[in-house]
Structure 1
Amino acid sequence: MITAVSETSARIDAAREFNDLPVDRVSEISAALNGLLADVFALYLKTKNFRWHMSGPHFRDYHLLLDEQSVQILKLADPLAERVRKLGGTTLRSIGHIARLQSIIDSEAEDTYPQVMLSELREDNLRFESAMRRAHKMCDDSRDIATTSLLETWIDEAEGRSWFLYETRIIRRE
């Protein structure tokens, strides 16, 4: 019987065949990326949830905006998981695993106003940006150029989502 420790060690050893990152950094980077991946799923589902429950005079615009954003968010899942595997790590295995790692807070509120939903999603995207920046620093310090490159693009996309959500705010003129 192969133990989990020996499987992990064997996987990381095998990854030495296609990357030269320090073994101790591989574990740290994999953990950070798995946290981001959990947040991708949490943010995706929350964005879809708010899209499904949107109402009001700007329904169509908000509905389309959140649809675009949810598609963009979900597209991060495979590259993130595959990057972890390329490093020699293992990635998420279940919804329970996602729940243990996610930092994006779920919303089960039944009656939420559109502006509250949009504001909450903006804050979540800002938190996600911040987590990606921390992962980027870790990867940069480890000279993991491939992961830093991916993160740079995803940070830019998260900034775009946050910006669009910010611009939906209602400005009251007195």
Structure 2
Amino acid sequence: MAENPALATPTDLNRNDTKSVAEALNSALADCFTLYLKTKNFHWHVSGPHFRDYHLLLDDQATQILGVTDAIAERVRKTGNTTLRSIGDIARRQTISDNDADFVAPGDMLAELRDDNLKLVESFRAVKDAAEAAKDNATSGIVDEWTDQAEERAWFLFEASRKG
């Protein structure tokens, strides 16, 4: 992330410290975009007797994930850093794997998304650690909400996949 003076947002935070926060945020952002697209993919391709329930659940979750992306990117900018610029940038940074399979069974979809949301929680915990080390209270505070949302999504996916 080369610093361009035109993008040097004023901040009282140490520039070197915020670079590590921005790196953690950008990694989490790449994972959010990956998880969003995978969730929409599964939403579009789910089938079976629980179609309506899963279709609606996945659409709600995708909407929530997409909503977080802007907040993450704006947080990067508020700290005077730059954020993701392209699909290639996302691909270089993502830690959540894509799923390009022609067919995924509904139960496997839910399990994969549950695990991916828990992986996103790990990314958010790395953001929290970097933010606290940089004394970036705003990022440290806001990432708690994103973590809670990802944990809730994982919980819903777990409960929806249980055999009754």
TM category (shorter chain) comes to over 0.9
2:117 alignment partner AA: N
Q: Does 1:109 align with 2:104?
A: no
**Which of 123, 127, 132 pairs up with 2:119?**
127
Query: How far, CA to CA, are the matches of 2:88 and 2:126 in structure 1?
Result: 24
Q: Is the 8 A contact 1:84 1:91 kept in 2?
A: yes
User: What stretches of structure 1 move > 6 A for 4+ residues in a row?
Assistant: none
Matches within 5 A, 1:3-152: 5=2, 8=3, 10=5, 14-15=8-9, 17=10, 19-152=11-144
Q: Percent identity?
A: 49
Query: How far, CA to CA, are the matches of 1:9 and 1:45 in structure 2?
Result: 30
Once the two structures are superposed, residues 129-161 of structure 1 have per-residue CA deviations (whole angstroms, 9 ceiling, x without a partner) of 011011101101221111111100000000110
- Shift in CA distance, 11/23, structure 1 to aligned 2, threshold 3 Å: farther
Deviation at 1:10, TM superposition (A): 3.0
Query: How far, CA to CA, are the matches of 1:113 and 1:77 in structure 2?
Result: 28
Which blocks of at least 5 consecutive residues in structure 2 are unaligned?
A: none
Deviation at 1:171, TM superposition (A): 2.6
TM-score of the pair, normalised by structure 1: 0.89
RMSD of the TM alignment (CA)?
Answer: 1.6
**Matched residue of 1:88: which SS?**
coil
2:149 alignment partner AA: E
Aligned to 2:154: 162
Query: How far, CA to CA, are the matches of 2:108 and 2:6 in structure 1?
Result: 45
2:137 alignment partner AA: I
TM-score of the pair, normalised by structure 2: 0.94
Query: How far, CA to CA, are the matches of 2:4 and 2:46 in structure 1?
Result: 47
Look at both structures and tell me which one has the larger radius of gyration over its CA atoms.
1
Deviation at 1:56, TM superposition (A): 0.6
Query: How far, CA to CA, are the matches of 1:129 and 1:11 in structure 2?
Result: 33
Q: Which moved more, 1:31-40 or 1:59-68?
A: 31-40
Query: How far, CA to CA, are the matches of 1:112 and 1:69 in structure 2?
Result: 18
